[in-house]
Structure 1
Amino acid sequence: MNSQSCVIIQKEWDIVAARQLGREIAKKLGVGTVDQARIATAVSEIARNIYLYASNGKVCFNIIENGNKKGIQIIAEDEGPGIRDISQAMEDGYSTSGGLGAGLPGVKRLMDEFYIESEIDQGTMIKAIKWVR
């Protein structure tokens, strides 16, 4: 499975679809059940952000290899308003939606690698990787 699998996020149900696809790919890759749950939670959080803040976006999954390591890479891209202050958005407890605020810091903690890029009025791109243990 080298090709990228994506879920377009437009309605609330798409969050569930993205979460299920992420878990399915992780399971096929041989990721343990605890890390499958971490991936599913991270995907939910990322997809929910797209749904809440951007009118249009997608979550894509790739299986990646680095030497003898295999992992799942999640790439989320949206055409939303962008994040004005990434460092503030990465603070625990920060939420603009009145949610739990686990948000992006939670995603960063759940995954092994996390990268975010955002431009005002252009959108946001998040890359996260979980390596198979």
Structure 2
Amino acid sequence: MDNQSCVKIVTEWDIVAARQLGRNVAKELGFGTVDQARITTAISELARNIYLYAGQGEMRIERISDLGKNGLKIIAIDNGPGIPDIRKVMEDGFSTSGGLGAGLPGVKRLMDEFDITSIVGEGTDIQAVKWLR
């Protein structure tokens, strides 16, 4: 398998496919079951956001290594409406979909690194990393 795998998010089934891919890559890298669950939850949340807010986009799962550490990077990219106020969506409990609002703050907590770039009218790019302990 190469360093990066990609799942296009167009239907709800693609969210399931992205989760499965993430779990498989996490398992192959040697993540334990707890971290596998964290990673698949983060993927699920990001893929669901693409599906709900952008209509379509893609999830990339990448194997990474840095200074002898290995990890997994999740990249969620869409060309949707963008996020007008990133600070607001990063507040706990904020939800526009009527969900639990664990959303992006939840993803940030589940992962070791989290970065979000969004341009209104152009789309959103979210990258999250989990390092193998």
TM-score normalised by the chain length of structure 2:
0.98
Equivalent residue for 1:33?
33
Partner of 1:67: 67
In structure 2, give the amino acid aligned to 1:10. Answer: V
Give SS of 1:83's match.
coil
Deviations 1:74-107 (CA, angstroms, capped at 9, x unpaired): 1110010000000000000000000010000000
* 1:8 CA drift (Å): 0.3
TM-score by length of 1: 0.98
Identity across matched positions, percent: 67
Quote the Cα distance in structure 2 between the aligned partners of 1:96 and 1:10.
20
* Structure 1 partner of 2:13: 13
Tell me what 1:126 maps to. Answer: 126
Amino acid at match of 1:35: D
Q: What residue number does 1:77 align with?
A: 77
- The runs of 5 or more residues in structure 1 that have no matched partner are none
Q: Which runs of 4+ in 1 moved over 2 A?
A: none
CA distance in 1, matches of 2:56, 2:13: 14
Q: CA deviation at 1:44?
A: 0.2
Equivalent pairs, count: 133
Describe the SS at the equivalent of 1:94.
Answer: coil
Alpha-carbon distance between aligned partners in 2 of 1:105 and 1:10, rounded to the nearest angstrom: 24
Aligned-residue offset at 1:25 = 0.1
Partner of 2:89 in structure 1?
Answer: 89
User: Root-mean-square deviation (CA), in Å?
Assistant: 0.7
Gaps of 5+ in 2: none
